[in-house]
Amino acid sequence: MTTAASTQLQRTLTRELPQHEGQTVKLLGFLHARRDLGGVQFLVLRDRSGLAQGVGAGLDLPLPESSIEVIGKVKAHAKAPGGYEVQVESLRVLTPAVEPPPVEIPKMEWNVNPETLLDYRVVTVRGLKERAALKVQAELVAAFRDHLTAEGFTEISTPKIVSAGAEGGANLFPIDYFGHPAYLAQSPQLYKQIMVGVFERVFEVAPVYRAEEHATSRHLNEYLSLDVEMGFIESEEDVMDLETRVLAAIMARLKERAQPELALLGAALPEVPAHIPRITLLEARQLVTEKYGHAVGGKDLDPEAERLLSQHYAETQGTDFVFVTKYPRAARPFYTHADHNADGSLNPDLTRGFDLLFRGIEITSGGQRIHEYPMLQDSIAEYRLNPESLAGYTEVFKYGMPPHGGFAIGAERLTAKLLGISNVRYARAFPRDRHRLTP
Ligand code: AMO
């Protein structure tokens, strides 16, 4: 039935109930929970702003998750969520669910195999914790955009179908592009640099693709990359300072706009120091070996070394962040600028590339890039890359590019570490991993 009352009333959100005590309101949402005690029925309606309890008599409650409209009077009720209750005068089912959800959506913990939860992600993602994590991520992305826009950056959109890899390595997804070989973009790296020649300061928020064969708690095959590139820098220090300001803006916005979600998830926001500590990769490796007895394998830091280095900074300086700087050439892509010696000459072994660790894990890579055409050609040769396949990128350097640098934050890693989520897959609505292509 569409009653006259339902069409006349404006929609009220559940979080607005306190302003409507004593009034008749119309709520729209999902039937989050229901209980029928014979003569009296209780319901919880969930809308985008929260939850509201309703109580009524003679109500015919549909299956949970049905879309409903509730009209009723608002009364203060200490035991109801939010402190108010709606005395239901009419309940209208807008869309009835035809099957109950596979898990009870209102429960805070589901004792179910995590893979099964992902199989049913289309509806399990409605869970309050799942929704809260994605909401925090949305605010985080909004803060990233807003802050950079305020610093004069322009948002760009670069191709995700590309002819060559930007980061090197074997983790490219090949695709068939009308009979020609092509790949899914690993990173907007080369295009964001080209766009510095247009706008000086650019950013992009878009998914990127990595054919990671291994299943870890930190790798996805598709993740949201928060990319930044800035022209006319002095050195990578300017880039690290920029990232520090971006992170501070993100935390400030979450503090202001995501309190309910953070509280629900029991998450504590980190303080972003005005100057995030910096340590060179060589010193970092030495430190974890000497202090913790951990011998680091490979050229980079391994996950255990990242964890220990973060632990050291948490213990000694009370911060969750540390920049690891001056990566050796062998651990960085061809586009990374060499570091300078004290006399100003180039050091062929070290670069101006850095990583940012947050709570034990790398959330960012960045650095200063090569901006001079001959130096870039030399680097491509040294890395034994095919100059022809990179010609579309290197060409722009013939026409003049300013000194520049940038960074990329993996949105899921940052979200997961902020919220205490143990696997990045749960910081994405529909994760893609080695074995998962649906939903
Ligand atoms: P890099 O390859 O280090 O650098 O990636 C940057 C950040 O992206 C995140 N990340 C991932 N997140 C989830 N799953 C993955 N498989 C994955 N791989 C990377 C991490 C990482 O720190 N072009 C450079 C960035 C730059 O220099 O501007 C790049 O892509 O948080």
| Amino acid occupying residue 207 | P
Q: Render the burial of 15-46: b for 16+ CB within 10 Å, e for the rest.
A: ebbeeeeeeebbbbbbbbbbeeeeeebbbbbb
Mean pLDDT lowest among 35-49, 117-131, 192-206, 382-396: 382-396
Nearest CA to ligand 1 atom 28: 407
**Same domain as 77, residue 189:** no
- Residue 5: the pLDDT is 59
Q: Give 343-377 as a DSSP string.
A: TS-EEEEEESEEEEEETTEEEEEEEEB--SHHHHH
288 located within any domain: yes
Q: What is the mean pLDDT of the chain?
A: 96
Question: What CATH number corresponds to the domain at position 69?
Answer: 2.40.50.140
Task: Tell me: do 66 and 176 sit in the same domain.
Answer: no
Question: Is the domain of 166 the same as that of 59?
Answer: no
Question: What pLDDT shows up at residue 298?
Answer: 86
My answer on whether 344 and 378 are in the same domain is yes
The whole-angstrom distance between residue 57's C-alpha and the CA centroid of its chain comes to: 44
**Listed residues 95, 110, 134: the one ending a domain:** 95
Q: Whose CA is nearest to atom 25 of ligand 1?
A: 408
Q: Mean per-residue pLDDT for 25-50? A: 97
Distance 223 CA to ligand 1 centre (A): 9
Bridge partner list, 275: none
Do 26 and 65 lie in one domain? The reply is: yes
Check pLDDT > 60 for residue 230.
yes
**Is 378 a member of any domain?**
yes
Average pLDDT, integer, range 391-397: 93
Bind-site residues for ATP: 210-212, 218-220, 362, 410-413
Same domain? 150 vs 33: no
Residues 417 and 325 occupy one common structural domain: yes
Task: Name the residue with higher pLDDT: 305 or 298.
Answer: 305
Q: Does residue 20 belong to any structural domain of this protein?
A: yes
Q: How many domains does the chain have?
A: 2
56, 176, 204, 321, 413 from 180: Cα distances, Å:
64, 6, 27, 44, 34
CA of 77 to the centre of ligand 1 (A): 49
Mean pLDDT of 221-233: 98
167 pLDDT band, cuts 50/70/90, is confident
Considering the domain architecture, whether residues 327 and 185 belong to the same structural domain is answered as yes
pLDDT higher than threshold 60 for residue 1 = no
Residue written as token pair 């090569």: 370
The pair phi, psi for residue 290, each rounded to 5°, is -70, -45
Tell me the pTM. Answer: 0.96
Range of the domain at 203: 121-427
Same domain, 60 and 192: no
Please report whether residue 133 resides in a domain.
yes
Highest mean pLDDT, choosing among 96-105, 293-302, 387-396: 96-105
Q: Which of 36, 21, 20, 27 is nearest to 6 (CA)?
A: 27
Q: Which of 151, 198, 194, 253 is nearest to 394 (CA)?
A: 194
Residue 165 lies in a domain: yes
pLDDT at 249 over 70: yes
Mean pLDDT of 45-49: 97
Question: Is the per-residue pLDDT at 168 higher than 80?
Answer: no
Domain assignment present for 371: yes
Q: How many CB atoms lie within 10 A of CB 329?
A: 20
Rounded to whole angstroms, the maximal C-alpha distance in the chain is: 87
Q: Could you tell me how far CA 403 lies from the centroid of its own chain?
A: 28
pLDDT, one tens digit per residue, over 72-108 is 999 999 999 889 999 999 999 999 999 999 999 999 9
Task: Please name the residue whose Cα sits nearest to atom 23 of ligand 1.
Answer: 189
State the pLDDT confidence band at 214, using cuts at 50, 70 and 90.
confident
Q: Are residues 49 and 151 in the same domain?
A: no
Same domain, 180 and 281: yes
The protein residue with its alpha carbon nearest to ligand 1, atom 8, reads 410
β-bridge mates for residue 136, sequence order: none
- Residues 153, 37 share a domain: no
Mean pLDDT of 182-190: 96
Task: Kindly give the distance from the C-alpha atom of residue 400 to the centroid of ligand 1, in angstroms, as a whole number.
Answer: 27
Which residue lies with its CA nearest to atom 10 of ligand 1? 410
Burial class of residue 232 in the structure, from the number of CB atoms within 10 Å of its CB (0-12 exposed, 13-18 middle, 19+ buried): exposed
The three-state secondary structure class of 282 is helix
Share of the chain above pLDDT 70, in %: 98
> Which residues approach ligand 1 with their CB closer than 6 A?
167, 187, 189, 210, 212, 219-220, 223, 225, 362-367, 406-408, 410, 412-413, 424
Contact assessment for residue 68 and residue 45, using Cβ atoms and an 8 Å cutoff: yes
Give domain status of residue 59, yes or no. yes
Tens of pLDDT, residues 361-377: 999 999 999 999 999 99
Would you list which residues are annotated within the binding site? 167, 210-212, 218-220, 362, 365, 369, 410-413
Pick from 187, 219, 306, 414 the residue to mutate for probing ligand 1's pocket: most ligand atoms within 8 Å of its CB.
187
Cis peptide, bond prior to residue 439, ω within 30 of zero: yes
* 299/184 Cα distance (integer angstroms): 27
The CATH number for 293's domain is 3.30.930.10
Please tell me the predicted confidence (pLDDT) of residue 3: 58
Cβ-based neighbours of 364, under 8 Å, separated by 6 or more? 243, 355, 356, 407, 408, 409, 410
Q: What pLDDT does 7 receive?
A: 67
Q: Is residue 287 part of a domain?
A: yes
